[in-house]
Amino acid sequence: MEDMRITRPGIFCIILGMAAAIALGPLAAMLPGETREAAAVLVVSNPTALQRSSEVVEIPLAEVQSHAHIPDMSRMVIRDRANGRRVLTQIYDARPLGGPEELLLLLDLGPKATLTFDLYDEASAEPMPSRVFARQVPEREDDFAWENDRGAYRVYGPALEATGEIGSGIDVWSKRVPDLVINAWYKRDFEGQRTHNPAMSYHVDNGQGLDSYKVGTSRGCGGTAVWEGGKLVASRNLTTSRIVADGPIRVAFELEYAPWKASGTEVEESKYVELDAGSHLNHLQSTFRFTGPQQIEVAAGLALHQPARRQLLAHGRIVSVWDSPQLASAGHIVTGLILPGPEKAGFTEREGNAVLLVPVKPGASIRYYAGAGWSQADMPTQEAWNAYLIEYLERLEHPVAHRWTTSKIP
């Protein structure tokens, strides 16, 4: 029989190996040939006194590659140096908006905090769960729906228009859980219709949340229209949709609308939408194509379901609404719209909407943020919602800073 005894030097080597594995923690699972030395070190700083939870940091991918030199970026793993925990990341192609490819990181940054992250080449790293989702829903008349861990939204598609239900506003689904619910809610609603069980409708709160927001022909939560002669002249339902990015941090997609008559010309609109994990607000960019006039006036708005409370903040750059959903038992839905940048906007209320008005030249875009929260989740009062919107604008105006340094720093 083979002698299975272990010599004292052998025991010593095993003890050393166990100690090294404990010290390396999550890095000890690397495959042979993988480096345990960081390929690059990233330092991220919060320049504000705000607590920046679920902050999405954007870094040009070319910059990352020039420092990390990782041939296959799908193998890149980023860890917090303080605790070794892996950071949620995404390679995002921002070129539909005219920008470069970017590395996205989802971070929590305290006031004036500075954090250090190590970048590794790890072939054994497993994909991390996504916190965003989007899809077209052909089984519900071509809805297009999207969500993150804070809420869900949808717009109406061409099949619904064929039934006579026409509107290009943005609908809101309220939820109190971080779960991605779109597939489950549509499935439950479809089964409820099949079995004639109204309790299975997504209009009924199942403990996760519900759809209690009537969008109808309003602008809903961030829909657009042309402002003509004191009236909102809106497009019909979307015609096509295309998903550009599907997480795990950011979902992005394009929506196209058929031409419609407004301001004495034919107008076409393309809408590009981004929604990040942890955010109550969508980032929207609507591009308008038309000929004839040198410019038209475009409205981006929020529905007012009376008795709604509307407030203007930040010198008219933010609209905040404490809204009344269809069911009194559903509390209140809060909606908000932010116009970033230095451009001035007009404001009016018309046809059950609060809207910001922006002049647009042919082929130009308006960029804004719009989204919702819920009084039965994390926005119990309009004051809490107002504070969130004001801080969101401050975060936009004071982005997180980053720099690269040596891996030898303590």
In tens, the pLDDT along 151-166 reads 999 999 999 999 999 9
pLDDT exceeds cutoff 50 at 122: yes
pLDDT band at 255 (very low <50, low <70, confident <90, very high): very high
The pLDDT of residue 27 is above 70? no
**Is 22 a residue whose pLDDT tops 50?**
no
Tell me what the mean pLDDT of segment 297-301 comes to: 97
pLDDT above 70: residue 23: no
**Chain segment 214-228, per-residue pLDDT in tens:** 999 999 999 999 999
Tell whether omega for the bond before 307 is within 30 degrees of 0, i.e. cis.
yes
Residues 50-66 have a mean pLDDT of 96
Q: Report the DSSP beta bridge partners of residue 181.
A: none
Rounded to whole angstroms, how far apart are CA atoms 352 and 236?
18
Residue 49 has pLDDT above 80, yes or no: yes
- Whether the per-residue pLDDT at 181 is higher than 50: the answer is yes
From the list 24, 88, 32, the residue with the least C-alpha distance to 55 is 88
**Cα 325 from Cα 344, distance rounded (Å):** 31
Q: Tokens at residue 198, please?
A: 């109204």
Report pLDDT for 232.
Answer: 97
- Cα–Cα distances (Å) from 105 to 27, 55, 58, 80, in that order, read 20, 8, 7, 11
Task: Please say if the pLDDT value at position 69 is more than 70.
Answer: yes
Average pLDDT over residues 30-41: 65
All residues at 6 or more sequence positions from 138 whose CB lies less than 8 Å from its CB, including other chains: 159
The number of residues in the chain equals 410
Sign of CA dihedral 7, 10, 14, 15: positive
Q: Average pLDDT for residues 22-35, to the nearest whole number?
A: 40
Tell me the pLDDT band of 407, cut-offs 50, 70 and 90: low
**Domains in the chain, please, with CATH?**
35-128 (2.60.40), 132-379 (2.70.98)
> Which of helix, strand or coil describes residue 317?
coil
Reference 107, options 91, 126, 85; nearest CA is: 85
Question: What is the DSSP secondary structure assignment for residue 126, as one 8-state letter?
Answer: P
What does the buried/exposed string (b/e) look like for 91-129 if buried means 16 or more CB atoms within 10 Å of the residue's CB?
A: ebebebeeeeebbbbbbebeeeeebbbbbbbbeebeebe
Q: Say yes or no to pLDDT of 17 above 60.
A: no
Quote the pLDDT of residue 191: 96
Burial label for 145, CB within 10 Å (0-12, 13-18, 19+), is buried
